[in-house]
Structure 1
């Protein structure tokens, strides 16, 4: 039986025309309703998305809005990214009535009120990133910050990449899956791998990969990267071209690549590797739809972004036009007090 296609695919709206503002708001409202956030949250999401997209249209260049359901469920991120002039006074921009363009200046103050969480980073001459996060009523926010961008290749409706997150007493386990190729068959392979992951996500990582390998035998196969975070450590196990980087504001602390092979076809014996992960680090797990050379030009501003903004920045600035692209970023596992 064909596994269900994962619906947590990112919607992207390039904001280069007034109609894009309405389109982004409609997509955000639909995503909130589909994610079970309810009508009231969906309306807040639409209003705020309209504000963010309108600001991009008025003040920025190279801007886009990304709408992404949280991979662990229970929420939604709306991220606005641009390559504009940046905000010279970001703290003042969050106050109602402040404006640099002769408008009423209510947009960013409204954003702070409407969102359950708001993250903003800006650098003059580089641009601005804003993430508004909405939680389902009564849901518990995730234990540590996490960001995801999962974009289909341009021109395709289905994404051959997928991602999943599972929290358990033994640690946070994350998966990024890149079905071979793109389109419907790649999406089916990716969904089958995620279904196997979700069945028993707390297994040892080599056993998880073996379960995915069995589930993908009748598919075209996939590359898979798995990561398990515990306080102070990151255990990695992967097959194929999904890459791991541990980053902090001062640079890349560690890198790991998957073993050569294909999950679902002639997979080698998985070999896990444990890396030290200090509290100040974030883990970036991404498919090869994100350019592999992005760390070569990464600035402290980029590397110091919180996970929800870093994922969007990688997709916005380092995405291949010829492949599906996924970036999952998560903070270190929290130590018990």
Structure 2
């Protein structure tokens, strides 16, 4: 995933170019890349017109709903009092034709918007190959993530992974010590172990990572095994694990101090019962710790990637790599 600031009209063309490049990298043809160009242009334009500037995140996704290009437009502007009305063609608060959100919706395979007056707006758009009207209904999304390097770095020292298993799934976030290529090396070493060993219990997987990461600078790592009844969690270092209930209240899961690959005195699993349809959130320390979703009415029910985007927008520390991985615990099929 890549991020770009959009503060004036001169940056709209660059946003379009980056989004098209990502689409072409996924094999999108001319027509499909053209839809991506339109959506990116409208998102960037809206950030300037309605959000007083903001940030556009562009990346790819690949999950049980399909694969394609993913865009997140994030601003801290005045927000929308009525998202449904603002999405209708002809509705405008700036004297424009009022077709921006309509054009975005027509080009998208998935669209989710969270906006609150005075708190800004977050828009998630997912685009696949083929016209949206031709797309078959897809299952509800399981998870989503924001994963970005420290400003000025070419690679992200964080990495994340999700693997399905019978009755549920496992999540993992690794935060390589520091940032840059050596941090990325440690994080991706953890991903390789996770992919190979994910069927085992979280604590056992973490112990194997501890051995595998010894030649690297090490990492903070958390693993969550999610079923329809409970979450089994194991963590070393400061990758936070949080359960967020349907009403937005949070429960932080316990990890131990240390660095996987170097100092890990104790690997311990903790089990947390699940009630209702909570979110399971893992985030590296590039995200501040003071967040709570009860300050965002209705956000907990939205697309997991949109939740990750709002948390990134409002609590990114700005001085490190950052990863926010969000999964809905009800999606265990």
Which of these residues, 33, 42, 47, is aligned with residue 51 of structure 1? 42
Q: What residue is the counterpart of 1:89 in the other structure?
A: 82
Q: What RMSD in Å do the two structures reach over aligned CA positions?
A: 2.4
Which of these residues, 281, 284, 288, is aligned with residue 284 of structure 1? 281
- Alignment of 1:13 onto 2:8: no
Note the C-alpha offset of 1:186. 0.3
Instruction: Identify the range of structure 1 (220-229 vs 193-202) with the bigger mean alpha-carbon deviation.
Output: 193-202
Note the C-alpha offset of 1:24. 1.7
2:116, 2:309 → 1: CA distance?
16
What TM-score, normalized to structure 2? 0.90
Q: What residue is the counterpart of 2:13 in the other structure?
A: 22
Q: How many residues align?
A: 327
1:170, 1:36 → 2: CA distance?
33
2:29, 2:18 → 1: CA distance?
15
1:60, 1:74 → 2: CA distance?
29
Note the C-alpha offset of 1:220. 0.2
Q: Secondary structure at the match of 1:112?
A: helix
For structure 2, the 5+ residue unaligned runs are none
For structure 1, the 5+ residue unaligned runs are 1-9
Q: What residue is the counterpart of 1:191 in the other structure?
A: 188
Counterpart contact for 1:79–1:312, Cα < 8 Å: yes
Per-residue CA deviations over 1:178-225 (Å, capped at 9, x if unaligned) read: 000011110111111111111232222122212222221100000001
- Paired residues for 1:202-221 under 5 Å: 202-221=199-218
Q: Secondary structure at the match of 1:251?
A: coil
1:194, 1:210 → 2: CA distance?
14
In structure 2, relative to structure 1, the CA distance for the partners of 1:275 and 1:68 (3 Å cut) is farther
Q: What residue is the counterpart of 1:68 in the other structure?
A: 59
What TM-score, normalized to structure 1? 0.89
- Alignment of 1:104 onto 2:104: no
Counterpart contact for 2:247–2:294, Cα < 8 Å: no
Note the C-alpha offset of 1:33. 3.1
Per-residue CA deviations over 1:260-313 (Å, capped at 9, x if unaligned) read: 111111323421112122333111110111011223984435555432111111
Q: What residue is the counterpart of 1:7 in the other structure?
A: none
Instruction: Identify the range of structure 1 (205-214 vs 153-162) with the bigger mean alpha-carbon deviation.
Output: 205-214
